[in-house]
Structure 1
Amino acid sequence: MLVGGVESLTKLAEKRLYGEVLNPLQAITEVNHHFQQFSEVAHIKTLSDKVAQIHAELATQITEDFKNVFTPGQQNTVKMSLSQLADACRVVSVLEPKVKRDLLKWFINLQLQEYVQLFHENQDIAWLDKIDKRYAWIKRHLLDFEDKFGKIFPLDWEVSERITVQFCHTTHEQLTKLMARRRVEIDVKLLLYAIGKTTAFEALLAKRFTGITLQDGGGAKSPAHEASARLHAARMPQSSSESPAQSETEEGIVKPVASPFTDLIGSCFKPHLDIYTDSIDKNLAELIEQFLQAKVPADPVARTTVFPSCADLFVFYKKCMVQCVQLSNGKPMYDLAMIFKKYLREYAAKILESRIPKLTTSYTPSSISTSMSLLTRDLQNLSTAAGQVIHSFLKEGEVARFTKEEIITICCILTTAEYCLETVQQLEDKLKEKVDAAFTEKIDLGEEKDVYHRIISNCIQYLVQDLETGCEPALIVMSKIQWQTISNVGDQSTFVNSIISHFKQTIPTIRDNLATSRKYYIQFCHKFVNSFIPKYINHLYKCRLTSVQDSNVLGCEQLLLDTHSLKTVLLDLPSIGSQVNRKAPASFTKIVIKGMTKAEMIIKVVMAPVIPANVFTEQFLKLLPDSTLVEFHKVLDMKGMRRVDQAQLAELFKRTAPKENLSLALDAVSSSTGAKLLDSPDGDKGRIKKLEKLIKKRLPN
């Protein structure tokens, strides 16, 4: 069979009857393969060599036949029909794989010969602005090829795909050289245009072809594409929100998912993506400048709780990130993250911190009217009231306060910083999710989050200081009242009404403008009472409630009533002036009760007689168990006892009190001495003169 088949096959091959050659060739090839184990037999070896020779002759002959048909200007010695060429291809499929590879390599290069010449780097049509013409050319050429010669090649040869793959490699090589030579001519608009057209073309290839020639080694792969293929293999798991086929950005860049054609051409643009990131840097700088130029609405009602610019910033960030993911998730994405960091700090400094109002000292009509009202409120003790007015008027005139509009601005800055803080965390998470694994650990927006934390803390502190400053005149009035001369206990004192009025004027504005930031509003309330209550107690220590010569405690009772009233107001501070009475947090209530109860206990101790001394000391330690020797002296001062007379009680306190309560009173004595110097008659004369000048200047004739 083998002998007869070899002779018959030789004759058929010479006559180019490829259709009749196919079956006997397959049979003889299989039989010859079976007899390879007997190759030491001379006759079998001869026949085997003859079969190999026929294979070689067929390979050479068929290759020449193809060249005769497809090479322009070739003088054909033998006229081959398309059907004969199709039979020849089936014969080639039986021959060594190298025959098919060499034939296809020659044929594909022939098909792309026109393209290489037409889009040579010296040609105007080769530049990026006409990149779509490259893809239009291959589309037309494939249609023409499949129409004329598509039936020649077996389907499993995937000739159209192979032509396309080689086109991609050639295009990648041409563009790489061209962009390296003409880099200075590339701007971001041109780069994104070229990338967009290329990515759309690669997406089209993913729909049109299977990519089998790339997967089975049938097509040559560039190192860049091999790296890209590994990257896409790692990206294959998709979230439910993503299309399994592709995704599309607002810039019109269509990105295929896990396609072997992805970046087959597009990887040539990767080295030039710094042009893109530099452009983003420039655009963000311009955006920040626009934010700076934008005027904040003068009418507080027209403002929102969050500056619109911060939403604009993060919308821009989102667009940039989505676009960059389409371009590269490697170093360009990391560079973009660094740019984001830069402008998060810029926004914080230039848009938020720079707009925090600065306090200025001013004299207001309200301070004058408030002080003048004090002149008529107490006919029983005109000299005392006048003294209060002098001090209060001077103090209020010098107090630096925020206006209502400035308070609203601070609240807006706080809520904007809070929005930024939350969004920066989301941005960091998304960047880490999208960036290549090699850069994940390098993405850290912790410093930027700290910046916005600091802005929030500063805003809260400014609000606390302003609210506290507004209470200062009333506290000074409290400390200057001649409590030991009060003859009856009535309603709460004017200074308490003043503080409550101040709360009702200021707190609702802050609460309304921090409505979306309840957490930080409560934090503001916490910080205020933590600061105000110790200050209230310090002013309480300055009060002279009784005297050694007079046992009148009506002043103590009045101040105790005032302190309790203030305690009640402070407990309701978060909801003061609100129609909705919302229960204050337990932690806030605990602070107020603890602090104001101490103030009440101080007054109760002052009401107690100092004789017998041991009973007084025990009472002091019972009501104020955590107090120090310094505070013990202050309570005795409130009772009008001279420091010389306090020595015996102080020694008793030292012997009775726990060791941790004992503290040197040196600081207290020195500060008390300084206070006395400030309150000297000469100081009062200077203040009276200042008051007279102010009245002449501010009051109408």
Structure 2
Amino acid sequence: MMDEEELEYAEDLEAILHLTPEVQLAIEQVFPSQDPLDRADFNAVEYINTLFPTEQSLANIDDVVNKIRLKIRCLDDNIRTVVRGQTNVGQDGRQALEEAQVAIGQLFGKIKDIKDKAEKSEQMVKEITRDIKQLDHAKRHLTTSITTLNHLHMLAGGVDSLEAMTRKRQYGEVANLLQGVVNVLEHFHKYMGIPQIRQLSERVKVAQSELGTQILADFEEAFPAQGSKVAWLDKIDRRYAWIKRQLVDYEEKYGRMFPEEWCMTERIAVEFCHITRTELAKVMRTRAKEIEVKLLLFAIQRTTNFEGLLAKRFSGCTLTDVKKPETPLESTNPFLEDDVGEDGSEMEEDLDRPKKHKAPDNPFHGIISKCFEPHLYVYIESQDKNLGEMIDRFVSDFRAQGPPKAGTEDGGAVLPSCADLFVYYKKCMVQCSQLSTGEPMIAFTTIFQKYLREYAWKILSGNLPKTSSNSGGLTIKSLLQEKEGSEAAKFTVEELCLICSILSTAEYCLATTQQLEDKLKEKVDKTLCDLQQYPVACSGPGRCL
């Protein structure tokens, strides 16, 4: 009966102690053991067979049973000890909890006491250091005020020095001072609401702006001045000598590298001409007050010679604005010849000699010299002055030498000064046409008219004899009017000789001036010729003379 109960108890215990594989694995990892009894898949039959593998081993069965029973008793004792020990755990835990609560209460009381003492100590320290704190704030404010005043003094003095050095152009000292002033000014950003500080800041900004503008102007004045000095008109022939050397060197080194139809040498020369014209125009605009007549004519002569050299060397096929010269018509203008006569008779022969105008066949004409045209007013003003001096010299010579004497070959002939005037006119017209046939030629037309009128009044009309009937003096118009009886003026032989000479000179001037008009129309550009009129000649003796 007991065996059955024990068997049932064992089965129930086995069912209760059946553990999952995960739990069993965890137990084996925590409590590793080599005992077969601790294995989860323990088999009693296999264990007994292991203990008694043969029949002879059954002789020791009593010893084996005793060992197993001893082991069982040891396990039972251990289990009882553990179970009995667990009965006092709850009581011990409650006692430990109560002790912990008491300790926490004591600790809280001590912390409260420490806090109260700390507050009392803090209050005591505040009372002790109250005056020290006030003194510390006063010291800090005083230090800040002194530093700010020192910076303000440095800023005010620096701004004054900066403005003075800027005016004196002491750029070396300004470089160091300006950085220091800017650094000091950074300390006053929070004080910009104060008018005086804001005014100093604005003065610094103005000084910086003026300094930058002044330095830039000094650089522009220093460096371009040296460049313009080297590139001035008196050294213009150096430009042309340089490009000649460069073109020769280019043809020797690289001439065969490009096809001839590309005309690379001519293209380089044309590009040089364009750059030279632009740069000369800039230099002359900058130094317009330094241009003199001789210097201007020298530069124009060298330039036209260079343009003629280009025309001999190149065909001008790379120029896009080349126009074929038109075949000129035959002209009878008296101002065509190059050589100027010295007396009136030679000039009269030239007036009757027909000349053919040679059309310019230089495609490079004006490619550089065009830049001189805006400055030809210097040449025009010089000729205006020369003509004025010439008229004054004619007047003084006429007064010194007197009129042509009666009974001589010169009696009643054209005055020599008239021929000299037209010779000079021709020289001016030819020279101006070589320089420009545009607006400068129109300006010369006005000058010619001006001094023809002065010649008519000062030399011709001004030297006519006076009569008692006409207190205002004679005029050519009054001489040409027929008078009879007492109204007819009576003149001496010398006066008649003078009148004849003046009338001959006036007639010569009228005829020559009309031819001058025709020549001017041929010289001036056609676009301007259609828009302008040339009232050089007088419409009659009554108007001009």
Q: TM-score normalized by structure 1?
A: 0.37
Between structure 1 and structure 2, the one with the greater Rg is 2
